[in-house]
Structure 1
Amino acid sequence: MDNLESLVIARRLRVPIDAPAGSGADWGEVAARQLDAALLSVGFKCSAALLERLSRLRGETVVDLGVRILAAVRGLVGDHVQHNAYFIDFPANVPDTLEFWVGLLREALLDPVAAVRLQPPTLDLLTLPGYGRYQHTYADLLAAHAELIPLAGDRVTMLELGGSLESETRELYFSLAGSEVPPAAEDLAALRLLASSCADQPERIPVRENRAVVNEVRLAAGRPLLVDTVTDVLRLACGCSGGDVTLAVPTRFRSLRRAERRALLQALDAVASSAKLGDVPRHREQWKRLGERLHPHEYPQFPRAAQVFEVARGARRAAGFDSRVEAALSAGRTADAVELLENAPGALLRRLDHLLRTGLSATAVLDGAERAVAGASGRVLLSLREHLQNRLAPAAGRVFTNRYGRAWAAPDSRSPLETEVLSRALAILDEEITRRLPDPGELIVDPGVLDVALPLSGKATAPGLGMLPRGSLSAVDGELLRFFVHWRQTERRTDYDLSALMLDAAYDNPTHISWTNHTNGFAAYSGDLTEASGGASEFIDIRLADATQPIVIPQVDIFAGEGFDEAAEAFFGYMTRDAEQKGRPFEPRTVRMKSDLRGSGRIALPLVFLRDDDGGWRVKWLQLYLKGHPGFNQVEGNRVTVSLLARSIVERDYLRVRYLADLLRTKSSSAGHTTYIGLEAPAGLPSGSRVYTPGTLHGLIPA
């Protein structure tokens, strides 16, 4: 139950309480106020309702619950580890880079044992004694820094009173399972835990990966499976074997029990129509491996299921839908392709830009699209809307991102689309999206959320504190901006390097801060750590008022060792504070954003910071990973790629909350409910209000 409780607290910032009230003479009120003070030290606070409920519990109960609450929020903000720094006085007294290396070399030459290793023909500066390892304890670091001076601008995240653990778990489960947005890997893991703990099961699960996870529970309980394609069955089989339900990585199937084989073949037989057999060749090898475990020849009562494996082995032909469309397009029969695609509305809309450039009458293509929009998902409509609005003006380049956040950029060689064509396409989409939106009743929108991008995919976004979808913009307040990265290796020596690339307004004239350049006129680096058996932290401090370049791109490079998805722990975040606050290199109440690093690339690009014309700063979420080199990645080696990617993201017109808010206002009525959209839920909303905050923005995506 502790895992479920921590999950609810971290994901919903709500504290579920099942414990009964204590006696009036108990010390629960004292313990509740002590907990509130402890929470404030890491940037959290109990709401009035939560504090009042805690005050009515027994003191021992509050203490036990408080320990679990503190553990959950400290992990959320990154305060569950000790953040030491290589340079003990950081950001003060950071040595000049050349001075630092000369000092290390001098010390090595004075050490007879070390001097032997410095003989020609090669000299590896990274192996100098004392380099890359902490030279002081965490207690020494604390003693070297003054206490943080609390200011009103520090982050205070409110923890709300939840219902029972059962009700909170159910609400979170239904929210994740019913999302219209493809999930992150962490969401799938959370969904699996929740599905096995909740008695109620949602009937509508639009995202296929989510459906596979829920089907695992249904299969184990002997309940009917939610499948309508053959690929749904393959995903379920992968999930049952502990494999990848996204089908991106081949699964090694386990031996299945007879009841499981029968249930899977029965479900497969029910959906394996001739039209759907065309989906089998896409995952031919995985189907062949699954057939070796299911033994379809032992179940003659399921003949259509057996045909699936015949197609996989090549014994039966089945033309896939995509291949028929491609054949028509290759033969120049665009009208036939459009007619075919109308049977799959989502596929037609995903190809709309291409179809409009094939030479077929734009009117005919848009007529087909107008007939198709009613049958496509809301996420497809919004994704196409975002795509087309970016075709109104030439782009600096095209960014391609896979499901793991791996990104690459290419010049935009597409021919432009006529303004009249784009205007009609956008009008078709706007009309259909508006039709699907609910009546919001009284609509209240926090202006701070208007520039948050709509979460059209969650695959590359690891949940965390202050996380927003890629393309979101938010203000940066404070005089000092400080990035941090922490990692802990699993087995091999692992060296991550925190760096920052600085560019001018034309994304040119690059400079950087890294282990090869410790300081400049406005930034300082905390020092390079080259192994992390017990965990390691690096920081970069930037005085925003003194910054000479308006674009700052932090990045984390894997110089050696384990990848982000192999390390025992790896996370990135940033803090803001005023210069007078002092404090340690890491102060949890000044953390504005923190999230795990887990992409498959070797270079992480979480954010880009941009200075406005009025001198203020904003942050735009990137959440990208570059392939990089197997080792020795440095900021100096990827400046061109990073600059192009950052520019493509910054200049892209993302579909934001502002768009849906404007459409919702056209449907607002005097119905007896309230809809609130904001960065945080305020106190005092009417009972039964629909509340959408960053963690639940996916609920705004229409079905």
Structure 2
Amino acid sequence: MNGSGEILLRRRRLVAPGLLAADRRLPPPVGKLPKRLGMVPAGVPSGVAALEFELLQLGFVVSGELYRELCGLSVTDLTIVGRRLLHSLREELGANDSHVPLFRKFPESVPADTTDFYVRRVFALLLQNPERPCVSCGESGTVHPVSPCAHLVCRTCWDGSDFSACPICHRRIDPGDPFLVPSEREITPTRDAVMSTVLLRLCADPAGTCRELAAELLARRTPMPPHERADLERLLEEQWPRSLSWLSEPIPVKETLAAVVAWALRKGADHELLDRHAGTATDVLRVLYALMDADPGLRVVPERRRSLPRAVRRAVLARLDAMPYLLEDLLRYREQWKRMAEVLHPHEHHARFPEAALAFAALRGTRLDPDTPFGRALLARAGGHRDVEVRDGRVRMRTFASRVEQALAEGRHAEATALLSRRPGELLRRLSHLLRLTYAPVPSGPPPVRVMAGTGARVKSGAGPATPAVAPEEAAPPGAPGEAGAPAASGADPLGVLEKAVRGVAPGVLLAVLGQVRTPPGGARLFLPRGGTARMWTVPDDRPALPDEVVLTAERVLTAELLRRAGELPPLRRALLDEGLADLVAPTSERTAGAALVRLVRGSVQPIPKADRLRFFLHWAEPPGTRVDLDLSVAVYDDGWRFAGLCDYTRLRLGNGLTHSGDLTSAPEPLGASEFIDVNVRNLRARYLVPVVFSYNDVPFDELVRGFAGFMERPRGLFDPVAVRQRFDLAGAAKILVPLVADLWTRTTRWADLNLSATGYGHNVAGSADELAAVGAALESAFEHRVTMWEVGCWHAAARAAEVVVRRRDGSLARYERRPGEDVPDFAARLAARADAPAFVGPLDGVELAALVSGDVELPGAQAYALYPHALGEARLLDAADLLSGLTPGS
């Protein structure tokens, strides 16, 4: 199930029985689902009761309205709806697949001495002979080859009821091989009650809800990851052609725009859609990438250029021909446009689209021969451009970006600021850099050489086309130092133009800049290059510190603008906020985020579950003909980030704290492969744990048939769906994934979702220990001062609500009201500082906006964001990005 019914269930916890029953695609195999469903002879009510029971084992309960709707279905429709509902929820938790580790009696049967276990395997591999007694136990007639690897295995030395793979090479073997002795089938105990459940509600208007959800995704002001764009396209697909009218409004995020316009063009939409939405040449390039099934974020070059229909080529050239500053826009992505020129053939249409032909001639350095009609036409066209000149028969242009870079390189910082003030978005993205050039003294001498964790390369200060962890940071090398505390004598200074510049900039950029400006130097800077995966590198942050008054002024201007925008939204009677939001980083861009059960923004902190025992899990399946060996590992560090131990295939037990389920080295369908690591929190003497997923034999995750990982809290049985606290997909071209970093002293985890660089073969903890330490050490300083969801909630509440109720970390409630004469910024500052306030007594009725960590309260009619939306009842659920979308200029 992957249609709109599944999307509503996953994103809104709404069940639309009609959509599920109408989806006639093949249901999942019956053997994967409980057999109670559809087999209860007493009729529909008993079938609904059986469905409720199965849902409860997954941690879900149905509302009364949904229960009545299910009871009104026929037996056939109830069976279809129930199977698809359970299949989708089990898939989301990771319970749809069989989890069989190497040691089927894990954790009890895992050998205590991994070295001795390895020696026994090697000894058997080198010396075992099928016609002689076993070299280990001396028994005769017990040594036989296993299929398909043909390794010689003694049935006495190796317990076939415990091993699920070849004991020698750890590859999966044929299920019918005699070595595999049937073991007792594990039965996960049923639960009479589940402490934390999620409420499933009836979707009364599926079409309207799909339209509403699609509108929210189209209006989102932060870039979406690929799996969310796929959801949007599915919603549009199932309502086509009616969904074409949904695209009449502007689409603010360029990557979303490109994906949607390309999808509509494939469906046969009029080419006017391109004219309406593509405002720059880069917008058009994104659409072309999407038409070729490449990344509309322009981070990955299409594997091959596909030919486009003639009508599409003409529409693209016509749109480019009508754009001002076309050549400058093309030069932003020079190499990409050179490749696209081979598809568009602009010179064939130079008479019809002369501006586009001239721009591509300049881009490609085409020599214009005045003796040909083509050359004469373009040379005459070039003579009418102010910023264009012809040298040696070729068209040249001096761009806006080159003027800015030249001014910075020559130390003319005020001139560069004045130029950037014409383009507020560019100015804000460079603000931290400009402030340091203008106000902060730069030490004299050559720039230091830095080592980048994650690559091993050496680069000079500030070099490299990289993007920081949350948002763009300065990338140009610093020029001549400015005088501390005062701007340059002539031209513009950054603070002087900031107040005007912030008016039209997207909220995600403002939040990213606010975090950059108030982050003091001295820690580590974390960069994510604009590649197909979020590979990272770090450098010491030895930039000069900004004067306090400069930081405070910039922070005041940025915050005041966000509060002004919030104040333009509809007023609220009462808002409800949760102090725990201070641990959640606000999203500024989610383009590299992976699909996860709990949607955390990189850098966010959450408490380690209270249970003493956690279990990390990994499951994957390899494509036919390709062996994929993934490894679940944990690296352990002390409080100074010095390596203190590991638990992986080379060490299955680390004291009484970590236990590995065994290393599987292949994952053929249909079983795949699973690995687990049990963590006894109280028995570990180190401070930091870094779980990692390695592709040992260097196969990227995107080649997997399926792959996911996560962790459980105190599971009952091997894999307990109710105990799953996080599950995330393995996707993209990455080969080493660091999902989180755990601090056992503070009992917190920080979400990382980072990919380390990987080259060669044999990736493991031993070869990546230094990189993992650099990741862990950099995470805290890189995200400590970023804008949090608590601040975003405070801005909304202070600017819009007459009364604000705050839920403290201990569960108590406090009540805030604006004091007489208190302006919005002061009220927001008092809220953000969590100043003392009287206790709130009474029911939580009248709440119109809520931002919570745990949605464990009924808030009928409210708009509510919750990291864990357990039981918000009839509230309208919001994503974290939706709270930012409301802070868009003019929204």
Change (3 A) 1:180 1:552: same
Partner SS for 2:728:
strand
Aligned to 2:246: 201
Q: 1:100 aligns with which of 111, 117, 135?
A: 117
Aligned to 1:121: none
Change (3 A) 1:26 1:587: closer
Q: 1:494 aligns with which of 625, 628, 639?
A: 628
Q: 1:131 aligns with which of 169, 176, 187?
A: 169
Aligned to 2:213: 172
Aligned to 1:260: 312
Q: Deviations over 1:101-146 (max 9, x none)?
A: 2332454466305999x9xxxxx99998533135797997972656
Shift of 1:20: 13
Asked whether the 8 Å contact 2:526–2:779 carries over to 1, the reply is no
Separation in 1 of the partners of 2:57 and 2:564? Answer: 47
Which amino acid is 1:471 matched to?
Answer: G
> Is 1:160 aligned to 2:295, yes or no?
no
Deviates more, 1:43-52 or 1:547-556: 43-52
Deviates more, 1:668-677 or 1:586-595: 668-677
Asked whether the 8 Å contact 1:399–1:645 carries over to 2, the reply is no
Aligned to 2:327: 277
Which amino acid is 1:14 matched to?
Answer: L
Asked whether the 8 Å contact 1:500–1:553 carries over to 2, the reply is yes
Which amino acid is 1:89 matched to?
Answer: K
Q: 1:646 aligns with which of 776, 789, 793?
A: 776
Shift of 1:418: 1.3
Partner SS for 2:850:
strand
Separation in 1 of the partners of 2:525 and 2:341? Answer: 44
Which amino acid is 2:262 matched to?
Answer: E
> Is 1:40 aligned to 2:56, yes or no?
yes
Q: 1:317 aligns with which of 396, 407, 416?
A: 396
Which amino acid is 1:624 matched to?
Answer: L
Asked whether the 8 Å contact 1:155–1:590 carries over to 2, the reply is no
Q: 2:523 aligns with which of 376, 395, 399?
A: 395
> Is 1:442 aligned to 2:574, yes or no?
yes
Aligned to 2:8: 8
Unmatched runs of 5 consecutive residues or more in structure 1: 119-123
Shift of 1:691: 2.2
Aligned to 2:299: 248
Separation in 2 of the partners of 1:522 and 1:125? Answer: 34
Shift of 1:683: 6.1
Q: How does 1:236-385 map to 2 (within 5 A)?
A: 236-251=287-302, 252-270=304-322, 272-274=323-325, 276-296=326-346, 297-298=348-349, 300-315=351-366, 316-358=395-437, 359=482, 361-362=486-487, 364-385=493-514
Shift of 1:233: 1.0
Change (3 A) 1:394 1:292: closer
Aligned to 1:587: 720
Change (3 A) 1:259 1:136: closer
> Is 1:678 aligned to 2:726, yes or no?
no
Q: How does 1:650-669 map to 2 (within 5 A)?
A: 650-651=780-781, 652-653=783-784, 654-669=786-801
After TM superposition, the score normalised by the length of structure 1 is: 0.90
How many matched pairs? 683
Change (3 A) 1:113 1:125: closer
Partner SS for 2:703:
coil
Q: Deviations over 1:249-279 (max 9, x none)?
A: 2233322223222322222223x213x4212
Separation in 2 of the partners of 1:431 and 1:540? Answer: 48
Asked whether the 8 Å contact 1:5–1:16 carries over to 2, the reply is yes
Aligned to 2:586: 454
Aligned to 2:880: 697
Aligned to 1:526: 661
Partner SS for 1:510:
strand
Deviates more, 1:133-142 or 1:28-37: 133-142
Change (3 A) 1:454 1:685: same
Asked whether the 8 Å contact 1:362–1:421 carries over to 2, the reply is no
Shift of 1:153: 6.3
Change (3 A) 1:13 1:450: farther
Shift of 1:485: 1.1
Aligned to 2:754: 624
Separation in 2 of the partners of 1:692 and 1:77? Answer: 21
Aligned to 2:596: 464
Separation in 1 of the partners of 2:212 and 2:487? Answer: 45
> Is 1:637 aligned to 2:716, yes or no?
no
Aligned to 1:221: 269
Q: Deviations over 1:19-42 (max 9, x none)?
A: 799xxx994433222222112222
Asked whether the 8 Å contact 1:467–1:593 carries over to 2, the reply is no
Q: Deviations over 1:189-231 (max 9, x none)?
A: 2333333334232412111110001212443310432111011
Shift of 1:574: 0.6
Asked whether the 8 Å contact 2:635–2:647 carries over to 1, the reply is yes
Separation in 2 of the partners of 1:509 and 1:247? Answer: 38
- The answer to which structure has the higher helix fraction is 1
Separation in 2 of the partners of 1:104 and 1:293? Answer: 57
Which amino acid is 2:621 matched to?
Answer: R
Separation in 2 of the partners of 1:125 and 1:350? Answer: 63
Which amino acid is 2:703 matched to?
Answer: E
Aligned to 1:416: 545
Change (3 A) 1:550 1:62: same
Change (3 A) 1:221 1:618: same
Bigger relative contact order, structure 1 or 2, given CA contacts below 8 A and separation 6+? 1
Separation in 2 of the partners of 1:14 and 1:362? Answer: 56
Change (3 A) 1:301 1:110: closer
Unmatched runs of 5 consecutive residues or more in structure 2: 22-40, 136-150, 154-164, 367-394, 438-481, 804-845, 868-877
Shift of 1:576: 0.6
Q: Deviations over 1:565-620 (max 9, x none)?
A: 2222221111111xxx6412x1111111111112433211001111245xxx2221
Change (3 A) 1:566 1:134: closer
Change (3 A) 1:300 1:375: same
Q: Deviations over 1:610-650 (max 9, x none)?
A: 1245xxx2221000000123210110121111111112113
After TM superposition, the score normalised by the length of structure 2 is: 0.72
Q: Deviations over 1:131-167 (max 9, x none)?
A: 3135797997972656346486665333232243322
Asked whether the 8 Å contact 2:5–2:19 carries over to 1, the reply is no
Change (3 A) 1:601 1:242: closer
Deviates more, 1:336-345 or 1:6-15: 6-15
Deviates more, 1:526-535 or 1:260-269: 260-269
Separation in 2 of the partners of 1:42 and 1:311? Answer: 61
Aligned CA RMSD, in angstroms, stands at 3.1
